[in-house]
Structure 1
Amino acid sequence: MLLAIDAGNTNVVFALFEGKDIRARWRIATDGRRTGDEYATWLVQLLAIEGIERSAITRIIFGSVVPRANHNITVLAQKYFGIEPMVAGDGAAAWDFDIDVEQPNTLGADRALNCIAAHELVGGDMIVVDFGTATKFEAVDFNGAYKGGIIAPGINLSLDALVGNTAKLPRIAIRAPETASVIGRNTEDQMLIGVFWGYVAMMEGLIARMKAEIGRPVKVVATGGLAILFDEKTDIFDVVDADLTIRGLQILADRAGAR
């Protein structure tokens, strides 16, 4: 089995693959101080609950946008599984597609993995949208080359800024408004309308501008925890896959093994 680990700014996601199928997945809050021993204590218990022996894991790959987590994930792999992990973007798992931007070495692992997975699973010219701590829009051409993109504040960051910089506005949960009306009748509804429909308008506007600039038919692929929520209220997405980044790790690991 392959253990794929995606260390993001908010969560670290662990997924166990049997071939191309996800057997199990777990997530833990990102903390750069979390040691390899702490990861192991948590993960080994979860494996036991699923009835999976540690020895069943024969390969480990991880991608990370949190440099402080890299050493501890490596310790987890080496000390508790006896495996030298593959690191997305490095060595045998180096990126195998064209990164056609001014500073290719600054492309985050999560963004690169999304490009790999979307090209493999969908193909053609694409815009890949990832709803994370930040919301990223990636332009990927029909050859799988990364042509550039957009980074916008994630919707929760936008809400944190709104609440954190005002004295009387309450904390609200992100959800779809109950009606299509954009004229709120109370403070909480007005905030939800502003945050939710404002975010939808931002996405629709940016994607329309990207499509116009690309100038060819484009598929829009969405991933991240909020992709399904937004997909219910807009028709801009052609494909929604919440596991796109993790699938990118699996694809990259298989390619690394074939080199």
Structure 2
Amino acid sequence: MFVAVDIGNQRLKCGIFRFTREAVSIPKPEQTFASQHPAEIVEFVSRAWDERQPAQGSEQGAPLTWWIASVNRPAAGNLLDCLKRERPADPLMLLSAADLPLAVRLPAPDRVGIDRLVNALAAERMRHPDHSAVVVDLGTAITVDTISADGAFLGGAIVLGLASAARALHEFTDMLPLLNVESMACPEAIGKDTEAAMRAGLFWGTLGGIRELLLRQVESLGQTADVFITGGHAALFVEHLGNARHVPDLTLSGIALVAIYYEDRTRQGK
């Protein structure tokens, strides 16, 4: 078993995976947990891992490999420090673009967010063989990225996420309030007060931007594309995006694919 960790700008999310030889498109975590605090991630994994050891015939405290993808350097440093202190025997793998079994047709692959690349790796495994793919990730930033029909990452677009846009409206104006978008539902397009108007603009403006990017990117790809949507606000928008497939743990599954790739290479002696 191993742990995949996705370190974003606002929180860390981890998944516990099992190496398997089953024919599945992407691996799925057996357990997941999210927190803003690295110590809580380590505590959760340690407790879950130690509970499994007696059933597996291993001693409690046995090492566990961590595969980490981060777009937040301070948070990654805090997690690594915590792991070195609390679980010093555990192997740690901090992923970069060069570690992924994914073609990246850009001038500087190492400057692309690793979350975008592991998302693309997972989507590449899930798409129909003769289709390209587009991945929409709704987090602190919204990314809309493309994968070619021959499985290469081609780039995409980055725009403000829902919470980031709400914060910008509040911080760069004098009187607009800070909205809590975590509990947002689909609003009316015509707001009857300031907050309602802000919700209408945030929701429908975000949705319109995603739709336009999807339309233009699919046109640019020139063929049928499978669309996958993930991230903290994905469930809010997926029903408005046609045939988009919601994959909540897409990023963790992409990280897990890298772990399985290297496990297979190790077994083959490569």
The TM-score bracket by the shorter chain reads 0.7 to 0.9
Give, in angstroms, the shift of residue 22 of structure 1.
1.7
220, 224, 229: which one aligns with 2:227:
220
Picking from 118, 136, 139, the partner of 2:143 is 136
Question: Are positions 1:84 and 2:91 aligned together?
Answer: yes
Task: Return the alpha-carbon distance in structure 1 between the equivalents of residues 168 and 121 of structure 2.
Answer: 33
Counterparts of 1:1-259 in structure 2, within 5 Å, are 1-19=1-19, 20-29=27-36, 39=39, 43-44=42-43, 47-48=46-47, 51-52=51-52, 55=61, 58-79=64-85, 80=87, 82-89=89-96, 94-123=99-128, 124-174=131-181, 175-178=184-187, 181-232=188-239, 234-259=240-265
Consecutive unaligned residues of structure 1, counting only runs of 5 or more, are none
1:208-236 C-alpha deviation (Å, 9 max, x unpaired): 1111111111111111010111113x134
Please give the alpha-carbon distance, in whole angstroms, between the structure 1 residues aligned to 2:48 and 2:103: 41
Deviation at 1:81, TM superposition (A): 5.3
Q: Secondary structure at the match of 1:4?
A: strand
Structure 2 unaligned blocks of 5 or more: 20-26, 54-59, 266-270
Given that 1:86 and 1:253 are in contact with CA atoms closer than 8 Å, whether structure 2 keeps it comes out as: no
* Count of residue pairs the alignment pairs up: 246
CA deviation string 1:192-216 (max 9, x = no partner): 1111011111111111111111111
SS in 2 for 1:22: coil
Amino acid at match of 2:73: P
The two structures have a TM-score, normalised by structure 1, of 0.85
Contact 2:97-2:110 within 8 A present in 1 as well: no
Shift in alpha-carbon separation, 1:154–1:90, aligned structure 2, 3 A:
closer
TM-score, normalised by the number of residues in structure 2: 0.82
Amino acid at match of 2:248: A
> Could you tell me whether the CA contact under 8 Å between 2:33 and 2:44 is conserved in 1?
no
Alignment deviations for residues 73-128 of structure 1 (CA, whole Å, 9 cap, x no partner): 3344455151221222277xx12211101222211110110011111123430111
Partners of 2:12 and 2:35 within 8 A in 1: yes
Cα gap change, 1:47 to 1:58, in 2 (>3 Å): closer
Please state whether the residue corresponding to 2:104 is helix, strand or coil: coil
Alpha-carbon distance in structure 2 between the residues aligned to 1:45 and 1:241: 23
C-alpha deviation, 1:18, in angstroms = 2.7
**SS in structure 1 opposite 2:9?**
coil
Identity %: 26
Compute the displacement of 1:43 (Å). Answer: 2.7
- RMSD between aligned alpha carbons? 2.3
Q: How has the CA–CA distance of structure 1 residues 78 and 237 changed in structure 2, closer, same or farther, with 3 Å as cutoff? A: farther
CA deviation map 1:11-39 (0-9, x unaligned) = 11121113444222112216xxx6xxxx2
